[in-house]
Structure 1
Amino acid sequence: MKDVVSRCPIEEVMRVLSGRWPTLLLYYLKDGTKRFSDLKRDNPTVSARMLSLELRKLEDAGIVRRTAHGGYPLRVEYDLTASGLTLVPLIDGLGGWWDQTAADRSGVRIRDAA
């Protein structure tokens, strides 16, 4: 990862959550434990390598927990840690904000619509 250029905590958050996949992974994991194949199915355009890298990044940040179950084939599951669960309201809030501003994005001013 790139070096930090400021002391702003938002920069640290963005280092972990920026990009296409991290917040999507949190969105799908908020409903509970998922296997790697489930996450791949939820995000069909992500490569297995990228999915693995992003999950590892979230795991290193303490947001996602990886649990490997012995046996053959090896079964690996992912879920949100307690810290990761605190991000769920933020992810939901971003989605809600996007839905609320749909009219604005489509060119309809909120005051005109009321």
Structure 2
Amino acid sequence: MKICLSPSRRDDALAVVKAGDVLTINGAAFDFSMLPDGATIPNGAIPCEWIIGPVERLAGRLHLTLILPHGANPSPAVAFPVALHHPPDGELALPFDPPPAETPIVEEPANVDG
């Protein structure tokens, strides 16, 4: 399997679990095991907003592209992700940026004249 990643500015999250030719994307399972070699599922034919472009099986290997959501200032690893070649079964290790640490609000003491 080869999964290309297409970065996109989005505030939602993506979680993908692979089990053979089945991808579970944010809880919805998509089984590509019946796609024969040389066949293509055209762009838009799969009811999943995360899969963009066609899904193909070439030389026995599944090829597809997923949207990779990112925040306003993505790191280079997220903005320019490398494709996942032969990812193992389980949750995919997608590049991501941790949320920014919140800066504590420091309140000024009240000015009491006295």
TM-score by length of 1: 0.29
Question: Which structure shows the bigger proportion of residues in strand conformation?
Answer: 2
TM-score, normalised to structure 2, is 0.29
Higher helix share: 1
Task: Choose between structure 1 and 2 for higher RCO, CA contacts under 8 A separated by at least 6 residues.
Answer: 2
Work out which of the two has the higher radius of gyration on C-alpha atoms and give 1 or 2.
2
